[in-house]
């Protein structure tokens, strides 16, 4: 959680709110951030998917993995699937990712997927529910 939620683990209430938000996105929009299941073991090893980015109108793709499965390419594989879903299934022309500036491993995932650094932005500028965050915005257009 070092680079997520201002470095603070989510409280039980925040986890409930996050799950409710994703359930709402799944039913109202047809997509969400979801469980990432390792095929070989059937275990949940992370979270990946897509969600609207604040009030920008863009769709954000994201990846969180359990530390024990870092370094295997899973985030790149899942992020690539999310990117394809945004472009090919949802027919969007643009996809973005927001990353805490010091989070180098996550930036490498974004770059491997072809996204490029656009600018540093605050949550407030993006209409994000956390106005105080400062993130690097990566984007890719078809
Ligand atoms: C961000 C995060 C998902 C990156 O994890 P990761 O394991 O580095 O990313 P991937 O799963 O794509 O694996 C890629 C790494 O595995 C290596 N790798 C090994 N086998 C591979 C394969 N078959 N295919 C692709 N990459 C492979 C790559 O070389 C790469 O290492 P490198 O970046 O040092 O060159 C992880 O650090 C994390 O979950 N952090 C906590 C949550 C978080 O910060 N999420 C992002 C919020 S913006």
The atom number, within ligand 1, closest to the CA of 2 reads: 44
Domain that holds residue 72: 5-141
> Tens-digit pLDDT profile for the chain (142 aa)?
899 887 889 999 999 999 999 999 999 999 999 999 999 999 999 999 999 999 999 999 999 999 999 999 999 999 999 999 999 999 999 999 999 999 999 999 999 999 999 999 999 999 998 899 999 999 999 8
Q: How many independent structural domains does the chain possess?
A: 1
Helix (H) or strand (E) holding 75: helix 74-84
Q: The whole model's pTM is what?
A: 0.95
Cβ-contact 132, 109 below 8 angstroms: no
63 CB within 6 A, ligand 1 = yes
β-bridge mates for residue 90, sequence order: none
71 Cβ inside 6 Å of ligand 1: yes
User: Which of 5, 104, 105, 117 maximizes ligand 1 atoms within 8 Å of its Cβ, making it the mutation to test the pocket?
Assistant: 105
Residue 116 DSSP SS3? strand
Cα separation, 123 vs 98, whole angstroms: 10
Q: Which two tokens stand for residue 12?
A: 């039980």
CATH code at position 50: 3.40.630.30
22 lines ligand 1 (CB under 6 A): no
Q: Which residues contact 91 (CB under 8 A, 6 or more apart)?
A: none
């Amino acid at each position: 959680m070092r680079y997520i939620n201002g470095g603070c683990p989510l409280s039980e209430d925040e986890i409930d709110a996050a799950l409710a938000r994703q359930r709402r996105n799944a039913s109202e929009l047809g997509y969400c951030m979801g469980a990432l299941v390792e095929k070989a073991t059937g275990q949940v090893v992370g979270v990946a998917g897509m969600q609207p980015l604040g009030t920008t109108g863009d769709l954000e793709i994201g990846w969180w993995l359990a530390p024990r499965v870092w370094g295997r390419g899973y985030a790149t594989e899942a992020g690539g699937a999310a990117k394809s879903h945004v472009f090919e299934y949802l027919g969007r022309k643009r996809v973005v990712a927001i990353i805490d500036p010091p989070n180098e491993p996550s930036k490498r995932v974004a770059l491997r997927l072809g996204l490029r650094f656009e600018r540093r932005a605050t949550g407030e500028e993006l209409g994000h529910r956390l106005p105080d965050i400062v993130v690097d915005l990566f984007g890719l257009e078809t």
